[in-house]
């Protein structure tokens, strides 16, 4: 099989409920330019991926990736994964776009094998519980109300993106624990808003409130800072979400004892190929690679590997908008069609 064409198109997707992750970070804006990428082959099988901030990625496809891909065998994904990494050294491909080609190649591969993607890349379950991943709301009272709405919708786990103020966020986390009781899993995402001193203070508060994980409290440039934080807090640290370097970087977090759980994802970690490397690496350390972010490729990944717990489902707006496909049991299944199933209904 040979790649004959790489087609890209841009479309504007409105953000119906503009949001932010914490104070200090820019908001989502009101629309996102998504690039659809389709890889065509001489045997008629195609593979598709989509990526946010599409204009940047379209430029890289036009200047670099298309010529690299045409004429090559799309099933030799390890070869193409390394070619994309070589190009990343020159282009600094945005982290959210590094996996775009690989995702399309795996869609194509799974279609050629007549299997849903999650079965083609491992296959562990056909349904997984989701956690409600909140955007930042304005007040403590609104967060508690949102939590009630999430529980009423079926979720049994909630993750906060709060304000980025250690004292105020610590108070919120404690109040949320009192509000939902001991049986709901709670997680906290710092969106890299803290220095080490505040990260330690907040981490201790999260430990006292029995949080399941403490995610990305600091930028992930300094692995040594995370090692020091881990020495000071009891709450499990979830690390490596927005750091470059795919499995090479995660290997160092684990080798230096700088995290308890690690992040993997298809969109930030080099596609399916990179995400699986991280999942297997974490398994070798008897730990979990919790899947970061929603979307169909991440849903397939979460159902393919044993060492992840939830699918991350974003909730936004008030009343909250629940992602299509989340059932009353708070769980979700990937489409049972060959490939990723971009056009299939999620149930």
Tell me the number of residues near Mg ion by CB under 5 A: 2
Least distance (Å) from Mg ion to the CB of residue 347?
A: 26
CB atoms within 10 A of CB 14: 9
Write the binding mask 155 to 194 for Mg ion: x where contact by CB under 5 A, - elsewhere. ----------------------------------x-----
From residue 96 to residue 135, the character string flagging contacts with Mg ion as x (rule: CB under 5 A) and all else as - is ----------------------------------------
Residue number, 190 or 339, with CB nearest to Mg ion: 190
In DSSP terms, which residues pair with 312 in a beta bridge?
131
Closer by beta carbon to Mg ion, 240 or else 325: 240
CB 310 within 8 A of CB 130: yes
Q: Residue 5 CB, nearest distance to Mg ion (Å)?
A: 36
User: For residue 303, what are its two tokens?
Assistant: 């159902």
From the CB of 245, what's the least distance to Mg ion, in Å?
A: 17
Task: Dig out the tokens for 278 from the structure.
Answer: 């991280």
Q: Give the nearer residue to Mg ion in terms of CB position, either 102 or 241.
A: 241
Separation between Cα atoms, residue 258 and residue 233, nearest integer Å? 12
Instruction: Work out whether the CA dihedral 149, 313, 315, 140 comes out positive or negative.
Output: positive
Q: Identify which of residues 241 and 260 has a Cβ nearer to Mg ion in the complex.
A: 241
Rounded CA separation 341/103 (Å): 12
Helix (H, G, I), strand (E, B) or coil at 23: coil
For residue 174 the two structure tokens come to 């404690």
Residues 6 or more apart whose CB falls under 8 angstroms from that of 212 comprise 157, 185, 186, 187, 236
Min separation Cβ 345 and Mg ion, Å: 27
Q: For Mg ion, which is the closer residue by CB, 198 or 241?
A: 241
For Mg ion, the closer of residues 198 and 290 by Cβ is: 290
Shortest CB 262 distance to Mg ion, Å: 12
- Binders of Mg ion among residues 188 to 207 (CB under 5 A) are 189
Can residue 312 be called a binding residue for Mg ion (CB under 5 A)?
A: no
Q: Taking the complex as a whole, how short is the minimal distance between the CB of residue 161 and Mg ion, in angstroms?
A: 8
329/331 Cα distance (integer angstroms): 5
Asked if residues 274 and 247 have their Cβ atoms less than 8 Å apart, the reply is yes
The least CB distance from residue 244 to Mg ion, in Å, is: 16
Site string for Mg ion, 223-242 (x = CB under 5 A): ------------------x-
Contacts with 31 (C-beta within 8 Å, 6 or more apart), sequence order: 12, 13, 14, 15
| Residue number with CB closer to Mg ion (61 or 238) | 238
Closest of 345, 313, 289 to residue 128, by C-alpha: 313
Task: Note the residues at the interface with Mg ion (CB under 5 A).
Answer: 189, 241
């Amino acid at each position: 099989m040979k790649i004959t064409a790489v087609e890209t198109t841009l479309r504007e997707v409105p953000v119906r409920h503009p949001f932010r992750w914490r104070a200090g970070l820019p908001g989502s804006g009101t629309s996102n330019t998504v690039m659809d990428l389709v890889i065509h082959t001489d045997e008629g099988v195609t593979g598709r991926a989509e990526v946010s901030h599409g204009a940047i990625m379209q430029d890289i496809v036009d200047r670099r990736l298309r010529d690299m891909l045409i004429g090559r065998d799309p099933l030799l994904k390890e070869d193409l994964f390394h070619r994309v990494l070589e190009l990343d050294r020159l282009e600094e491909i945005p982290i959210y776009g590094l996996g775009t080609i690989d995702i399309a190649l795996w869609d194509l591969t799974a279609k050629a094998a007549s299997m849903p993607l999650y079965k083609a890349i491992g296959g562990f379950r056909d349904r997984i519980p989701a956690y409600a991943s909140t955007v930042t709301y304005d007040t403590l009272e609104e967060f508690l109300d949102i939590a009630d709405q999430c529980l009423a919708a079926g979720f049994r786990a909630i993750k906060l993106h709060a304000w980025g103020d250690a004292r105020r966020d610590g108070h919120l986390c404690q109040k949320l624990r009192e509000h939902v009781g001991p049986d709901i899993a709670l997680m906290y995402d710092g969106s890299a808003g803290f220095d080490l001193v505040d990260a330690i203070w907040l981490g201790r508060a999260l430990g006292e409130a029995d949080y399941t994980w403490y995610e990305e409290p600091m930028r992930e440039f300094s692995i040594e800072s995370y090692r020091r934080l881990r020495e000071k807090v009891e709450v499990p640290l979830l690390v490596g979400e927005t750091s470059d370097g795919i499995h090479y970087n995660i290997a160092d977090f684990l080798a230096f004892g700088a995290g308890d759980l690690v992040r993997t994802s298809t969109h930030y970690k080099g596609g399916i190929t990179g995400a699986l490397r991280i999942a297997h690496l974490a398994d070798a350390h008897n730990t979990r690679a919790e899947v970061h972010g929603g979307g169909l490729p991440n849903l397939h990944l979460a159902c393919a590997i044993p060492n992840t717990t939830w699918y991350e489902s974003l909730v936004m707006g008030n009343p909250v908008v629940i992602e299509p496909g989340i059932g009353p049991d708070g769980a979700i299944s990937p489409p049972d069609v060959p490939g990723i199933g971009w056009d299939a209904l999620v149930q």
